[in-house]
Structure 1
Amino acid sequence: MPRIASIADTRTLSDLLSGLELRGQSWCYTNLGPHAGFSVPPGEAVLFHAVLHGSARIACASGEVAVLEKGDVAVVLSGEAHALRTSPESEASTHEFLREDRAVDIPPTVMLGNSGTVCARVLSGRLRPNWPGEVCRSTLPPLLRFRQEDGDPVAALLRPEALALSGMG
């Protein structure tokens, strides 16, 4: 056991993530109206959120908060409860689609909020992780944020010309 602990202590986050396998077909688009939001309860899954249109604020149960603009990506590694909102005072009801694993060929679009106006469009995925053996999930950062404007490689996958093709569902 001490050998495993010493290996984990010397590995970087990048090393640990390179051994992580993610699987799943639980993807959906969520269109958020003004003052709308959704929450995801805690669980074993890794949650992925990419803002395709507008902006949203993600807040994790641990207190981590980030504003996501068009093209930004957030990955909740810890499995902790979190919420995405179009404004800090927005309600955030549980996102029923993201509560459990699903197998969909075409991601559905879920509309949240009373208005026909879409303030943010988010692509979300619920992924099953297969962690490298030495990872203690509770020691990982709760939220990884990749910003389009910083040129982060993950966010760079959401190129502006690809975002335009995502449409408004």
Structure 2
Amino acid sequence: MQGAKADSRDRLARVLHTLRMHSTFYCHAELREPWALEMPAVADSVSFHVVTAGSCRLHLPDAEPIALCAGDLALVPHGRGHELLSSPEAGPATRVDLLPQRYLSEHYSVLRHGGSGRSAQLICGVVSFDDPAARELMRTLPSILFIGGDTVSAASSVRDTLRLMASELSHPQPGGEAVATRLADILVVQAIRAWLATGLDTSTGWLRALQDERIGQALEAIHADPSHAWNLDRLARVATMSRSAFSARFTTLVGETPISYLARWRMNLAQSRLLRENITAARLATDLGYQSEAAFNRAFTRIIGRTPGSIRRQQQ
């Protein structure tokens, strides 16, 4: 049993080790009451907010407001729009991307906004991801992930990263944006680790499946060699289960059949490569184990909702 637990931790550690984010935008906000900001929805992204001075409230539709104080960190993992306010009486929120601000680079700005009351300072960021493991992991997270600066779960490593990021973004230097990008990656991973350490319920979903003694082995086999000619029998053998028992347990934990998951994982890999590389659909079809480009294109369009060619043209 101890060996199984170690294996599940190792699988999770490998996912966290390879988790890569792409920084989209950072903002150092200097705000005075009253103020209210609307953060627009950004698909496939994680927003984070660090309060370095003062306090504010975070509002997400259909969720209870969260009070944030200096040293607190909040992540909104699912790309959902939300609001930051100085108080419930702050008035209607203004979209933050429509406000005048000083752009120090294409990906970093300083925003000064509000009235003449008490001040608050925040570091806000949006990081996106195209890695399939990151997408799956983000789907398992709660609508808001909060780490209080005064709680045990906010390990010293998180606080150290927050201090480094505050320093980099408050005093821009050559190469500072690259440093802040790496720190954002680290911060998100540390926040997820802190959330996992709380022992919150992960009885279902991809994260629980990854840590399952048998289903986790099948998932890792798919991730390690997605182009292999996997079928239900081969995956069941990897999990050392009968075909029917494996299919039932996989579907219960992951929320879809093994073959459906395999197809979606392959298409997410293909989408990621189309976004990063100058690659053809024919090459992707070969790399991902499809017999023809036409079969790959049909699967990609059905699962992603767009053709491979449309994504290539967008990137170009």
| TM-score normalised by the chain length of structure 2 | 0.41
Q: Is the 8 A contact 2:25 2:107 kept in 1?
A: no
Q: Is the 8 A contact 1:57 1:67 kept in 2?
A: yes
Report the Cα offset of residue 111 of structure 1: 1.5
What is the RMSD computed on CA atoms of the aligned residues?
A: 3.4
Q: Distance in 1 between matches of 2:104 and 2:130?
A: 18
Q: Trace 1:20-169 onto structure 2 (pairs within 5 A).
A: 20-44=19-43, 45-91=45-91, 92-96=93-97, 104=105, 107-115=108-116, 117-133=117-133, 135=136, 137-151=138-152, 152-153=154-155, 154-159=158-163, 166=170
Note the residue ranges of structure 2 that are not aligned, 5 or more in a row. Answer: 1-7, 172-316
Q: Is the 8 A contact 1:35 1:87 kept in 2?
A: yes
| Worse-matched range after superposition: 27-36 or 146-155 | 146-155
Q: Which has the higher helix share?
A: 2
Q: Is the 8 A contact 2:20 2:129 kept in 1?
A: yes
Q: Residues 90 and 25 (structure 1 numbering): CA distance in 2 closer, same or farther, change over 3 Å?
A: same
Report the Cα offset of residue 78 of structure 1: 1.2
Please state whether the residue corresponding to 1:135 is helix, strand or coil: helix
Q: Which has the higher strand share?
A: 1
Please state whether the residue corresponding to 2:47 is helix, strand or coil: strand
| Worse-matched range after superposition: 31-40 or 20-29 | 20-29
Q: Is the 8 A contact 2:51 2:121 kept in 1?
A: yes
Q: Deviations over 1:57-102 (max 9, x none)?
A: 111123142111101111110111111111112132111179xxx9
Larger radius of gyration: 2
| Worse-matched range after superposition: 50-59 or 26-35 | 26-35
| TM-score normalised by the chain length of structure 1 | 0.71
Matched residue count: 150
Q: Residues 136 and 73 (structure 1 numbering): CA distance in 2 closer, same or farther, change over 3 Å?
A: closer
Report the Cα offset of residue 17 of structure 1: 7.4
Q: Distance in 1 between matches of 2:98 and 2:128?
A: 15
Q: Is the 8 A contact 1:59 1:66 kept in 2?
A: yes
Q: Is the 8 A contact 2:32 2:119 kept in 1?
A: yes
Note the residue ranges of structure 1 that are not aligned, 5 or more in a row. Answer: 1-9
Q: Distance in 1 between matches of 2:36 and 2:105?
A: 23
Report the Cα offset of residue 16 of structure 1: 9.8
